[in-house]
Amino acid sequence: MQRFFLFLAGLLLTTATVAAPLPDVEVVKIDERVYALLGPLELPNKYNQGYTVNSTAIIGDHGVILVDTGFTDEVGAHLARAVAKITSKPITHIINTHHHGDHMLGNSAFKNVEIISSEACKELVEKTGYEWLETVQNATRRKFPNTTPVPATLTFKADTRSERTINGVKLVLWVPKGSHTPGDMMVYLPDDNVLVSGDILVHNITPNFHDGKIKNWISTLEQIVALNPKTIVPGHGPLMTSAQAAAMKDRMAVLYAGVEAGYKKGLSDAEIRKTLDLSEWEKLHYFDDLMGGDINSAYLEVEAENF
């Protein structure tokens, strides 16, 4: 994923001037206490200053739980200002859905908060956090001296669903087997029937398989469909329904099965691509940028499964 962002950064204009203003946060009220904060449907660049992520504000009795904080301390502060327009209650808790920098480097904008993630996410933030900082600095052509990786203070084990009440809000902290990344966490609000999925679900965008375990990911999507949430806040793109999650699951399952069939015929990943019906994928953003790498990732996973 880092290499992909760095490649795109190299295609941008290299002249750095005064930082552009951050794009507006699109605030979508889901119900009285859950607000989606939708970022631009773009890749990080010098015009959006790395702000591309979806976040979620969950307003409790005594404070706000913010899910995902953006790519820099400036994005984190931008999201905090958006929350302040919704409620005067302070942000007391942060949940990171995974370790990719566009979801967690904004943690550095927040002080005196509890940060929650999976155990694997915390380890990956500590291991790769500064690589992600370099990624956003290259993509935006500027430095972020006040952005540092801040890992979780409370973690949960893989393949668990843990019920917690925070600020009077019932949450299920769902850590599936590694799917989009080895350290994913989703947040389910049973009283609201809302799922905050991180990048396990993305809407109108080609998912990035680079750090994923695709068979696990498909299984996780099946479990999401079975849960049947009314509203899903994906990691990127507009809000989703369970039916749209099912459509993403089906696309991924058919793609993986096609790659597996081609591998068993002795085809290379490039040869396999010619055999696949990608018409539904071609409608998604970043198809040309990501599909080749996604097929290669699926091929390598199939190869490992059949070794």
Tokens, residue 300: 């390598």
Mean pLDDT, the chain, rounded, equals 94
CATH architecture of 2-242: 4-Layer Sandwich (3.60)
> Would you state the pLDDT for residue 2?
57
Q: Strand, coil or helix: what is 304?
A: helix
pLDDT in tens, 4-58: 555 544 444 333 446 789 999 999 999 999 999 999 999 999 999 999 999 999 9
pLDDT in tens, 47-57: 999 999 999 99
Q: How many other CB atoms are there within 10 angstroms of residue 270's CB atom?
A: 11
Q: Which residues pair with 189 in a beta bridge?
A: 194
- 136/43 Cα distance (integer angstroms): 10
Distances in whole angstroms, Cα of residue 121 to Cα of each of 96, 126, 218: 8, 9, 20
> Would you state the pLDDT for residue 15?
38
**CA nearest neighbour of 26 among 196, 233, 171:** 233
Q: What is the mean pLDDT of residues 173-185?
A: 98
- 80/74 Cα distance (integer angstroms): 10
- 134/238 Cα distance (integer angstroms): 28
Is the pLDDT at 189 greater than 90, yes or no? Answer: yes
Residue 205, amino acid: I
Q: What is the DSSP string of 129-191?
A: HHHHHHHHHHHHTS--TT------SEEE-SSEEEEEEETTEEEEEEE-SSSSSTT--EEEETT
Altogether, the residues listed in the chain come to a count of: 307
φ, ψ for residue 234, nearest 5 deg: -80, 170
- 272/266 Cα distance (integer angstroms): 9
- 141/47 Cα distance (integer angstroms): 10
Q: What is the mean pLDDT of residues 219-233?
A: 98
**CA nearest neighbour of 252 among 211, 195, 213:** 213
Q: What is the mean pLDDT of residues 125-154?
A: 98
Q: Strand, coil or helix: what is 294?
A: helix
pLDDT in tens, 247-288: 999 999 999 999 999 999 999 999 999 999 999 999 999 999
User: Can you tell me which residue has the tokens 């059949």?
Assistant: 306
Do the Cβ atoms of 137 and 237 come closer than 8 Å? no
Q: How many other CB atoms are there within 10 angstroms of residue 15's CB atom?
A: 7
pLDDT in tens, 63-72: 999 999 999 9
Q: What is the mean pLDDT of residues 145-164?
A: 98
Please tell me the pTM assigned to this model.
Answer: 0.93
φ/ψ region of 50 (left if φ > 0, alpha if ψ in -120 to 50, else beta) reads left
Q: What is the DSSP string of 256-269?
A: HHHHHHHHHTT--H
> Would you state the pLDDT for residue 304?
95
Reported as half-sphere exposure (CB side, CA atoms, 13 A), residue 253 has a value of 11
- 198/235 Cα distance (integer angstroms): 4
